[in-house]
Structure 1
Amino acid sequence: MGASRGEFSSRIGFIMAAAGSAVGLGNIWGFPTQTASNGGAAFVLVYFVLAFCLAYPAFMAEILIGRYGQANAVTSLQKMSRTVLQKRFAFVVGFGGIICAAMILSFYGILAGWMMSFAIEPVANIMGQEWIAQWVVGQSLGRNLLFTVLFMFLTIIIIRKGVEQGIEKWSKRLMPMMIGLLILLIVYVLTLDGASEGLNAYLNPDISRVLEPNLLVSALGQAFFSLSLGTSVMVIYGSYISKKENMVTIGAQVTLIDVSIAFLAGLLIIPSMYVAQAQGLKIFADDGSLIAGPSLVFEVLPTLFDSMGTMGLFVGFAFFVLMSIAALTSSISMLEGPVSYAVERHSVARETATTWIGFGILALSVTIVVNIEFMLDLVATVSTQYGQPIIAMLCCVFGGWIWHRSSLLAEIKLGNEGVENSLFWKIWPWYIKFICPVAIGAVFIHSLL
């Protein structure tokens, strides 16, 4: 790879960046909510199994396509195409992933802005500025616009710096900070009344529920989407990995970090819900379903923090800083996809491409904010329930059906000479050829129904 293009300077740099992309609001917000709505510990158990048996193989396909192509998503897919038709198909898949990433970032920036605003609320209360505290947690057009713009500016600034000085540098700083905050919050919440009941619900599975169709499909969807599959992100990140690295090991390490942080998030959120319930808040309906759902983070948890008195101000601040960091490590990866395409396919300077594409996505975010009641859910649904599974499935089709098997093996052997005789090579090619497309298709069909 040419030095001018940039690459991760170390294995830990890629792992932190890829894990940072995978670990976002979907893990720390979405995973616990899904867990609470789908049988608690039974969902956790199924999620772990599917993450390694199905999501990991699909993740490997995307990062291998990227490292083989050493380019943006479109160019990487076209390099393995042998006919004109395949090259056109590659363009549709690669560019579709780029558009999908941009759409996700457009609404993701709004949600991340809310996390930042909620982090300011306890600071304003400590300083005695109650009017600021009330304004930053209120649903107003001004609040939404201000914090969406602030968050998008942070994302643009990091991506303008490039791979090593931008993505890698900040991922290596933010990820350890996020994990440290998460662990500190877990330790504190587990000392509160009601936490032990939540811990039992989270860690003691009802084995009879693990084969429920809705639980299986929900867990599979969470596993695929939490690893940023289907957005071109992992293809472009894979293109920045050195040819000397063992991709099988790296892929497993990123997957392990991703599911581990999702598990830790559940270890914080689920006991917190039961703590809130012990303090009189209504969390579950009579039929056992979760009442708050996606609004859990903005309704139930702030009420819990308020009930803790002065300590709750510090806990609330730490929690929403944690959420903001998780969102930022994901947003920088989403912006990198379209930026890398503009830089490499159209010879636009990185700083220029980042600024213009970032402002373009921000303009879409502002449009969503102005029409938030119907556009937020619409854009989120189109990009995550339709776009992601289709693109992820087509990347598996490329890896399993279009990429020549000997060329694929040669790529994996770089950094892992003995892989041909390993269990991974005996199983993985068949997984991405048959199992992964069918599994992702099942998630897609379920989302339609």
Structure 2
Amino acid sequence: MTVRDSFHSRIGFVLAAAGSAIGLGNIWGFPTNAANNGGGAFLFVYLIVTLLLALPALYAEIYLGNQAQKNPVSALGEACAEKMPKFGRLAGKIGLSGAIMMLSFYTIVAGWMLSHALSAFVALLGFNDISQWLATDSTVRNVVFTPVFIILGAAIVHQGVHKGIEKWSARLMPILLMMLIGLIVYILQQDGATEGLKQYLIPDFNQVTDPKLIISAMGQAFFSLSIGVGGMMVYGSYMQKDKDIGKLVLSIGALDTFIAFLAGLLIIPALYVAQHAGQEVFVGNQLIGEGQLIFQILPALFSTMGAVGLLVATGFFSLLSIAALTSTISSTEVPVAYLVEEKKMTRAKATWLVSGVVLIASMTLVAFFDQLFGLVIQVLTTMLQPLSCLFYFIVVGWVWKRGNKLRDKALQGEQRWLGIWGNYLRFVCPILLTVVFINVAF
């Protein structure tokens, strides 16, 4: 019998899972969403949604994987075996598709990060023409840098869980945190930063009941924590069974939320610094360029700082590249684990096969960028991920009888806190998630 690869330490698991959660969703998506949805009001709602829904969903996903000790397709198939085995496996395969969807646009954006980091670096060396090409959005640039990032992720994943994912997450995460804090300290000393801080930290409570803001915050919370596509489930399966999942989830959620908060603390003040310097940042209440925001506004801001600005730009976009890489490897691991365990492929073959599929999907988005890019992100973050989380709640609370210790404790009233937590997952979370969808639909 083949022994499954696994994480060798709690801190290794937390850093890898936090690395999965901490990525472009935090440092690219969160500040953009916050700036477009009232700043402090978005932050306030985001924190509430994370506490009430996203962390329980993260718990449910990791718990399913940890109890089953299998990939998401097998884990959900086993959990639903007594009532709807085919539907469980189908949900797992939808999660695999979601992971591919995430990777298809994620690797494109990650390629932008890498090209901008190189652009600032080669500008420091005096190669201005090359720097200009690297900083200018083009199909050719996407075709060059998207595969580069796919290969970087594959190179780590094919080394395995302990030697690849755990080792590199433990190296990259502390570097990411130190770079982020250093950039915040620098930006907050610039003119205009105080206005950005007020916008970010002081909520307008008249906006917090806006359904658009709530669904945006919910989608952002699920996207930031990488839940709903199976990545956390497969990571949970690599952790020794029956570890204290609650403490691990709190550690991951706290670190992820902290990084998202820091990203807002960096980028929103930076927008107001750019505005103070004479750049047009907002049209009405909406950011110029939205998703392209940091590639349009921030490089122009950095360029006003001379050689120091180029160093800051190199550090900033290198930071984003690292954040993207730690998230890419978790999403890649979802279909890889399935192919290794169920199709009996070697890890190397499975990794490069998945990477080939992602490359085809990414190049399709590059070819039909205007039509597909935003649509894929919207479908994934506001539909597929929340619906997958709703399914996890139903499975843990109602469907999974065999092996579901959490449900048994809730029904029997044993260990009072576990009973309360189990009933919260059974009743409150599905209702809350359904209410949010109804409010948005109508």
Q: Pick from 250, 255, 262: which aligns with 1:257?
A: 255
Tell me the CA shift for residue 420 of structure 1: 4.8
1:366, distance to aligned residue in structure 2 (A): 1.9
Aligned to 1:76: 75
- What is the match of residue 46 of structure 1? 45
CA contact (8 A) 1:61 1:399 kept: yes
Look up the equivalent residue of 2:422 and give its one-letter code: P
Q: Which residue of 1 aligns with 2:425?
A: 432
Which residue among 215, 230, 234 is the counterpart of 1:236? Answer: 234
Given that 1:21 and 1:329 are in contact with CA atoms closer than 8 Å, whether structure 2 keeps it comes out as yes
- Tell me the equivalent position of 1:323: 320
Task: Quote the Cα distance in structure 1 between the aligned partners of 2:438 and 2:9.
Answer: 39
The 10-residue stretch of structure 1 (40-49 or 127-136) with the greater mean CA deviation from structure 2: 40-49
Q: Deviations over 1:266-314 (max 9, x none)?
A: 00001101101110112223x4333342221111111111111111101
Are 1:186 and 2:170 an aligned pair?
Answer: no
Q: Is the 8 A contact 2:117 2:318 kept in 1?
A: yes
How many residues get paired?
Answer: 440
What is the CA RMSD across the aligned residues, in angstroms? 2.2
The 3 A distance-change label for structure 1 pair 412 and 337 is: farther
Distance 2:330 2:416 in 1: 31
1:416 corresponds to which residue? none
Q: How does 1:38-437 map to 2 (within 5 A)?
A: 38-83=37-82, 86-243=84-241, 245-285=243-283, 287-404=284-401, 407-409=404-406, 420-423=414-417, 425-437=418-430
2: CA distance, partners of 1:60 / 1:46: 20
**Cα shift readout 1:220-251 (whole Å, capped 9, x = no counterpart):** 22222211111011110110111252111111
- 1:411-434 residue CA offsets vs partner (Å, 9 max, x unmatched): 999xxxxx95353x2432233223
The alpha-carbon distance between structure 1 residues 91 and 246, as it changes in their structure 2 partners (threshold 3 A), is same
Amino acid at match of 1:9: H
**How many Å separate the matches in 2 of 1:108 and 1:448?**
27
TM-score by length of 1: 0.93
Q: Letter of the aligned partner of 1:323 in structure 2?
A: L
Residues 200 and 268 in structure 2, CA contact (< 8 A), matched pair in contact too: yes
Question: 1:8 maps to what in 2?
Answer: 7
Paired residue type of 2:320? M
Percent identical among aligned pairs is 45
CA contact (8 A) 2:143 2:366 kept: yes
The 3 A distance-change label for structure 1 pair 325 and 355 is same
Q: Give the CA deviation at 1:107.
A: 1.5
Q: Which runs of 4+ in 1 moved over 6 A?
A: 410-413, 446-449
Once the two structures are superposed, residues 83-131 of structure 1 have per-residue CA deviations (whole angstroms, 9 ceiling, x without a partner) of: 3x51101111111101110121011111100110000111111111111
Mark the CA change 1:410 to 1:394 in structure 2 (over 3 Å): closer, same or farther: closer
Structure 1 unaligned regions, length at least 5 = 414-418
CA contact (8 A) 1:22 1:228 kept: yes
Moved more, 29-38 or 6-15: 29-38
Q: Tell me by how many angstroms 1:441 deviates.
A: 3.9
Deviation of the 1:63 alpha carbon: 0.3
Superposition TM-score, scaled by structure 2 size: 0.94
